[in-house]
Amino acid sequence: MKPPSINHIKKENSKLKNSDLIINISKLSEGIHNYHLNTKSINLELDERFNDNVDLNVVLDKTASQILLKTEIDTNGNFECDRCLTTFSQHIHTSYTLMYLYQTQEFDIENEIQIINKDTVYIDLAEDVRQYILLAIPIKLLCKEDCKGLCPICGKNLNEGRCDCIIDAIDPRWEALSKLIRNKNK
């Protein structure tokens, strides 16, 4: 699945400070170059759900007029299950492709292209990596696919066993109600 488009026409300077995700391209020869980069999620100013390392496998393909970057990103997040509200760890994998185009004049193009010039020394991946990780968080967060959720009556986590309430089946529509109950009981 392709992530929603991010407008990559932007300033070369990352908003993030002290990025570990910088590649020096000033003396890069033409051809394929591989990098393994990593940083702590805190350096990417991700939210508190992320506290693991972020690993990148980067491939740069340089020609005279452009550098094509392909990167695979791996990290872990701690999320709250939508059904039972327990926290679970989930691996987040995402990837993106970005073209760095050597141009003296900026022109208007959408999509994953960033303008650089012959004097560009560094490319910093941090801000892009941050955005792609956030886009990779699943919309539906479940601790496991068959999570039984909370009893809508007593709020018990039904993954830990049944309760004495009389319910025929947990209807997904109960989720919102059971969350309310659970929050009240907190």
Give the residues lining the site for Zn ion (CB under 5 A). Answer: 81, 83-84, 143, 147, 151, 153-154, 156, 163, 165
Which lies closer to Zn ion via its Cβ, residue 83 or residue 130? 83
Which lies closer to Zn ion via its Cβ, residue 44 or residue 147? 147
Which lies closer to Zn ion via its Cβ, residue 23 or residue 153? 153
Distance from C-alpha of 21 to C-alpha of 152, rounded to nearest angstrom? 46
Which lies closer to Zn ion via its Cβ, residue 5 or residue 183? 183
Q: What angle do CA 109, 113, 117 make, to 5 degrees?
A: 100
Distance from C-alpha of 20 to C-alpha of 43, rounded to nearest angstrom? 8
Least distance to Zn ion, CB of residue 46, Å: 23
- Paired with 144 in beta bridges are none
What tokens were used for 96?
A: 């993106």
Least distance to Zn ion, CB of residue 175, Å: 10
Least distance to Zn ion, CB of residue 82, Å: 7
CA dist 145 → 43, 84, 101, 140 (Å): 31, 12, 43, 10
Least distance to Zn ion, CB of residue 157, Å: 8
What tokens were used for 134?
A: 């956030």
